[in-house]
Structure 1
Amino acid sequence: MSKKPVLDVNEMPNLLRWIPLSFQHLFAMFGATILVPILTGLNPSVALLSSGIGTLAYLIITKGKIPAYLGSSFAFIAPIISVSKADGMGAAMFGSFFAGIIYAIVALIIFKFGSDWIHKILPPVVIGSVVIVIGLGLATVAVDMAMNVTVNGQTVYSLKHFLIALATLSIAVVASTVFRGFLGVIPILLGIIGGYIISLLAGIVDLTKVYEAPWFAIPTFTTPEFSWKAAIIMAPVALVTITEHIGHLMVTGSIMDRDLVKDPGLHRSILGDGVATSIAALIGGPPNTTYGENIGVMAITRVYSIFVIAGAAIFAMSFAFIGKLGALITTIPTPVMGGVSILLFGIIASAGLRMLVENGIDYSDKRNLVISSVIMVIGVGNAALHLKGIHVDIEGMALATIIGVILNLVLPKNQQVEIEIEADEIDVRTQRSLNAKTVKESL
């Protein structure tokens, strides 16, 4: 039985709680959201703006029933780099726009034929295992952020950075488990603030960017340029990220203890993601996706209010234009984000384990054992399928999900039933023999 939410979906917090709760979600998504444009050559401010607009569009399309924040998708990094190098960033943005159209087409199919088939191809044994992969697959990212530092282009271990990450993690853990009232609702934000103060004292925070940044700055936008080649390259990636979206929706539903696939509907959720991705492409931002970091925040705080999510979206949009505030957030040291990510990603993995336990998955059934084992090793091991001809890489969680679905469809389901029937027949025959023996002895 899940605990009662601190703030349910349509509950509005007062202003004194609203601002820090929204900031907590902003900080949770910030690092990953600006990392994608940095790696692909897009503008980080535009990424913030597009994530905010996309999140608001998603909340509207899902009728305010799914508290999800949408940020930059890592799955599109390689295709964007590939297309932009060959045909320019405008072509890459058109490909991203077309990826959003693919989302809309899939949403329409689900709306037309229903979503019951989702439960058949994605039963709890598959979804629970995939959710574990979502969390543990990010474990190396969190640990790398926590203990490593880049020096002269090389990644080296830093004890100072790791201790700061552990201190940040400790503050977040204490706030989550010991604090009561409002302080217990914002453990991630408290962890980041505490870690930032420690980082200032340790001398690893550089405030030069804040001093140099203007108060107001208009981001540089990129206009899409028509390219069928880019569309063909991006389309398969959209099909892969849809599996990630379904996994995140299942996690969110599990945390909230309600079936979001049925209400407001998987089709609305996927359509919202697609619209957000297309909006981002129109202004030069990376494709969007629901964020595991923010799901982790909800799992810890039990605050599901869409007003809190919308507040984070508005803050992100504002920071795209306020130079000094945006620059201040970029000064948050990597080990601080690594420390809170250890907790956030672990919570996601634990949510998957909870799904397996609550659905009574029987691992004496070899079928379940095989499916979970293969999904987790391929996903956590980050196995990859490189399709060089169409410049698509299917790896990690996406590949694990696809293989898990295939195994679920092809492996026979009646072996355990047959074994149970045979066992029952043996019990019956044994009982008959005992009864016959008893009768003979009595005679």
Structure 2
Amino acid sequence: MSSLFTWKEVDPAPGEPVGPGERLSWGKTVGLGAQHVVAMFGATFVFPLIMGLDANLAIFFSGVCTILFLLVCQNKVPSYLGTSASFVAGVAAIRSQGGDSADVTGAILVAGIVLAIVGVLVHLAGTGFLHRLLPPAVTGAVVMLIGFNLAPVVAATYWPQDQWVALLTSAFMVAAAVLMPGFWSRIAVFLALIFGYLLSWICDVLFGQITSVLPTGPDAVAHDRVSWAGVEAADWIGFPSGKLADGVSVVHGPSFSLTFILLVLPGVIALIAENTGHVKAVAEMTGDNLDPYLGRAIGADGAATALASLFGGSPTTTYAENIGVMSATKVYSTAAYYVAAVVAILLGLCPKFGAIVNATPGGVLGGITVVLYGMIGLVGAKIWVENGVDFGKPVNMVGLAAGIIAGIGGVTLTITDDFSLSGIALGTLLVLVYYHLVDRGRGVEQGQVSKVL
């Protein structure tokens, strides 16, 4: 184990890469670790807010789970595990059916275990069966229906709280992500959150309170856009504690329901594609053959998701934002990721920081989510394009059509009085069944495993 924490110190010329088993001086490594924290920061705490979970706990477990991931992958795959967006739609469906945060984390815990089992199978048996079960046509369809299924959440929950702040925040995020240079474009979510926060505060000063419907009640009420009452009351140091909006404790044990579990299981498909794409991207950048570590990476992400969910935390995934930082710096040292993980753990132990995050105005979340949810859906189209999925072939056009519409439109199949399939769960099932019903092996020729980056 001691050899895992031994990195060869190097001082490369400008532009020369630093490998996973190497590091710069500790001073520079700490600086790079801090840069990785900034890169993962916005999305890692925005998604817990959207799912109704605690941002502090998510940040804390992102650090713990990153260390777990690095250890399982023997420091060969430099990656950061932040909060996953793949389960957001499933969580929204659980809450719309009356489930609380314990139901959410219980369902995600089972999904994490399933992902871990898939990782073990890939490690032992290779990737052949995975390619056959989840060709790019299927993976792209599932990712698309997961993202676009979230459209009603934006329209009904976040956007109406403050439509003008939401509109301006989304415009800023689009501009920042596309027009800002290099690293700044990669933290567009974080910058948009700061912009929206400041804009909401200015609107409070200039226009006073706004009257809108909050997530906690059915009636419109007058309220400040920005309220820091909880921030003032929060401690500077301590473990995440208190109650979530639905009354469940921040740190809580999971509750299990088959109906709710089926709603989030499609997220496993997205995570398999995500982890596979990220491992291949890192391999391409470092020049290392990381195929032997693909199963480890998938399994580690599953174990990390299950671990976080066991205590009420958010699901995890490898982060493209941090892979982008490596692409820009050419520093692939896993030492920097350990530094980032420790910083995240320390942030998670600052309740005042969490209170600031939890005070994010609803209009700001509306502006951010209207872009993010659309991007999740369009990643599905990106998978199709990058893998050359041909929609001139009926197997792709007809085989996927019903599942996508069922998933996005919220179609319900009632099986018994107490059990039904709907939305994402039904859509994913139809995509898998209908596609393989008519494919007969032809789809595998389109490509191997779908790429997310």
Q: Deviations over 1:43-71 (max 9, x none)?
A: 66444433432233224324452635343
- Pair 53,392 (structure 1): closer, same or farther in 2 beyond 3 Å: farther
Report the Cα offset of residue 206 of structure 1.
0.9
Rg larger in structure: 1
Which residue of 402, 406, 412 maps to 2:429? 402
- Aligned pairs for 1:177-326 within 5 A: 177-203=178-204, 204-220=225-241, 240-249=266-275, 252=278, 263=291, 265-281=293-309, 284-286=311-313, 288-290=315-317, 295=320, 313-326=341-354
Q: What is residue 385 of structure 2 aligned with on the other side?
A: 357
For the pair 1:31 / 2:46, whether they are aligned, the reply is: yes
Amino acid of the structure 1 residue aligned with 2:65: G
- Pair 93,178 (structure 1): closer, same or farther in 2 beyond 3 Å: closer
Q: What is residue 329 of structure 1 aligned with on the other side?
A: 357
Q: SS at 1:148's partner residue?
A: helix
Kindly indicate whether the alpha-carbon contact (under 8 Å) linking 1:296 and 1:345 is maintained by their aligned counterparts in 2: no
Kindly indicate whether the alpha-carbon contact (under 8 Å) linking 2:33 and 2:338 is maintained by their aligned counterparts in 1: no
Q: Deviations over 1:201-258 (max 9, x none)?
A: 0122112211121212233586869xxx959888867855432322433564687796
Distance in 1 (CA, whole Å) between partners of 2:373 and 2:107 is 30
Q: SS at 1:196's partner residue?
A: helix
Q: SS at 1:411's partner residue?
A: helix
- Pair 329,135 (structure 1): closer, same or farther in 2 beyond 3 Å: same
Kindly indicate whether the alpha-carbon contact (under 8 Å) linking 1:168 and 1:339 is maintained by their aligned counterparts in 2: yes
Distance in 2 (CA, whole Å) between partners of 1:190 and 1:95 is 32
Q: What is residue 424 of structure 1 aligned with on the other side?
A: none
Q: What is residue 106 of structure 1 aligned with on the other side?
A: 118
Distance in 2 (CA, whole Å) between partners of 1:184 and 1:352 is 21
How many residues are paired up? 387
Distance in 1 (CA, whole Å) between partners of 2:61 and 2:338 is 13
Distance in 2 (CA, whole Å) between partners of 1:404 and 1:264 is 29
Distance in 1 (CA, whole Å) between partners of 2:260 and 2:159 is 34
Report the Cα offset of residue 82 of structure 1.
11
Report the Cα offset of residue 350 of structure 1.
3.1
- Pair 269,255 (structure 1): closer, same or farther in 2 beyond 3 Å: closer
Report the Cα offset of residue 335 of structure 1.
2.1
Kindly indicate whether the alpha-carbon contact (under 8 Å) linking 2:240 and 2:351 is maintained by their aligned counterparts in 1: no
Q: Deviations over 1:116-148 (max 9, x none)?
A: 111112222212222322332333334445522
Kindly indicate whether the alpha-carbon contact (under 8 Å) linking 1:255 and 1:351 is maintained by their aligned counterparts in 2: no
TM-score by length of 2: 0.67
Q: Deviations over 1:133-174 (max 9, x none)?
A: 23323333344455222xxxxxxxxxxx22212222222222
- Pair 340,112 (structure 1): closer, same or farther in 2 beyond 3 Å: same
Kindly indicate whether the alpha-carbon contact (under 8 Å) linking 1:22 and 1:308 is maintained by their aligned counterparts in 2: no
For the pair 1:170 / 2:171, whether they are aligned, the reply is: yes
Which residue of 408, 411, 415 maps to 2:438? 411
Structure 1: runs of 5 or more not aligned: 150-160, 417-443
For the pair 1:371 / 2:399, whether they are aligned, the reply is: yes
- Aligned pairs for 1:15-26 within 5 A: 19=34, 22-26=37-41
Q: What is residue 437 of structure 1 aligned with on the other side?
A: none
Structure 2: runs of 5 or more not aligned: 1-14, 205-224, 242-249, 444-453
Distance in 1 (CA, whole Å) between partners of 2:110 and 2:393 is 43
Distance in 2 (CA, whole Å) between partners of 1:92 and 1:189 is 25
Q: SS at 1:290's partner residue?
A: strand
Q: Deviations over 1:98-120 (max 9, x none)?
A: 66554443333333322211111
Report the Cα offset of residue 410 of structure 1.
1.3
TM-score by length of 1: 0.68
Q: Which stretch of structure 1 is more off in the superposition, 12-21 or 358-367? A: 12-21
Q: What is residue 222 of structure 2 aligned with on the other side?
A: none
Kindly indicate whether the alpha-carbon contact (under 8 Å) linking 1:26 and 1:313 is maintained by their aligned counterparts in 2: no
Which residue of 142, 153, 156 maps to 1:141? 153
Q: Which stretch of structure 1 is more off in the superposition, 258-267 or 107-116? A: 258-267
Q: SS at 1:362's partner residue?
A: coil
Q: What is residue 409 of structure 2 aligned with on the other side?
A: 381
Distance in 2 (CA, whole Å) between partners of 1:148 and 1:80 is 19
Report the Cα offset of residue 289 of structure 1.
3.9
Distance in 2 (CA, whole Å) between partners of 1:103 and 1:312 is 25
Distance in 2 (CA, whole Å) between partners of 1:142 and 1:191 is 16
Q: SS at 2:227's partner residue?
A: coil
Cα RMSD (Å) of the superposition?
A: 4.7
Distance in 2 (CA, whole Å) between partners of 1:392 and 1:60 is 40
Report the Cα offset of residue 198 of structure 1.
0.9
Kindly indicate whether the alpha-carbon contact (under 8 Å) linking 1:58 and 1:273 is maintained by their aligned counterparts in 2: yes
- Pair 373,281 (structure 1): closer, same or farther in 2 beyond 3 Å: closer
Identity of paired residues, percent? 24
Amino acid of the structure 1 residue aligned with 2:357: I
Q: What is residue 53 of structure 1 aligned with on the other side?
A: 64
